[in-house]
Structure 1
């Protein structure tokens, strides 16, 4: 009888541990879901102050809607999806400069709100929501296609580049015409199928600079793809935005004209 009680107690303890583990897993997953309230607050703040382009909303498979800023270029030569980095929004600093500068240069831009976490969330927590960022990129591509834009590029910074990497490395990825990677701290998930402009700042994060050789190993061997170091720039490309646009524009022109042999 004592043995039976001991066995039941052990079983009960085991079930309790399993239940606690399951609860912890669910709680962790919930805590790492995007902070939609934060995204919505930003949308309310950004919409009234948009000067270049107009706010639009993209419908996700979950039926949620996310803000994007769409700037239509006169006689557009193609469309560019602009993807921001960790914990910011589609009109933040460098991203705002890129979406406006590229639109002025003749490319319609769609800058999309990527998933964010709470303001105090550590960088490693963002790894869990990279797939949701990839999903938003997929939705953005479909949105541009629906509007008749055939030639599409992705211009992505920092964590946004990691989200683009996840999307383009997946089997479900749609072929695009060009990819601009700015300050990505890893190698490519798979060998890119489109011309790539890999950009880092001279004073970028060590992880970005040290992983450049990994990206170089898979960089397409065409006449357009290359690695560029922006002199004097840090990870945010502060005060180098115009120079960065000037580097990106001829690359996109060549890629969209299918001249990358």
Structure 2
């Protein structure tokens, strides 16, 4: 009996350790919101009552709306995500950059799959928000861990309004054949080892998919440091072909 109680306690402790860190989310929000220049902070609510931050930036006469999905442990205005969410509206795309579930700052990437169900839930909520705003054409633009999270959504049952996906810095051997929309698999010449190692498998999975392609950007690292304009140009040019 003592052994059973101990095992149950371990399971509960493990689940607690892997739960999304809402306190860390709040800390990010408290830091991000006061500095927002482009767009407006909007909090969306999950069925359990938890509210997560999004940054909504409408474009005049938008071609489509884009959900921008950040990587591991960061926020919806971080790095290249902040660049994409604030500059793509100038190219004719409304953006909704959303806070994805984060774990403790010392959590490793191998722990993050535990957050994927909640990530999918947030993507569904984001789609519903944009549809309520009148958008019938929606795209996903994701980076790093956000691309892994988006893969779970896109290979499951995505909303029919989602018409295209730009997956940046995808580390997994995701089977794009299970994705029903055009995909741009985008990565850098100097990307992370797993991104580079699995690039060929991802390219193979894209073969025969209408409107889909893989693109490797010369000299770029995983974060496209010092390549903001080139990144926005590549993403917007691809999306223009889909919308």
Aligned to 1:24, which of 3, 10, 17? 10
1:219 is the counterpart of 2:219: no
Bigger fraction of residues in strand:
2
TM-score (norm 2): 0.96
Q: Is this contact kept in 2: 1:186–1:214, CA < 8 A?
A: no
Greater Cα shift, 215-224 or 105-114: 215-224
Aligned to 1:180, which of 148, 154, 166? 166
Query: What are the Cα deviations for residues 66-124 of structure 1, in whole angstroms up to 9, with x where unaligned?
Result: 00000011111000000000010000011000111111111000000001011111221
Q: Distance in 1 between matches of 2:42 and 2:208?
A: 37
Give the count of matched residue pairs: 241
Aligned to 1:33, which of 16, 19, 22? 19
Query: What are the Cα deviations for residues 9-36 of structure 1, in whole angstroms up to 9, with x where unaligned?
Result: xxxxxx2222111110111001110110
Aligned to 1:201, which of 188, 202, 225? 188
TM-score (norm 1): 0.89
Q: Distance in 2 between matches of 1:221 and 1:142?
A: 30
Partner of 2:222: 235
Counterparts in 2 of 1:86-125, with a 5 A limit?
Answer: 86-125=72-111
Q: Distance in 1 between matches of 2:209 and 2:20?
A: 38
Q: Which has the larger radius of gyration?
A: 1
Q: CA RMSD in A?
A: 1.2
Unaligned runs of 5+ in 2: none
Unaligned runs of 5+ in 1: 1-14, 257-261
Partner of 1:145, secondary structure, is helix
1:168 is the counterpart of 2:154: yes
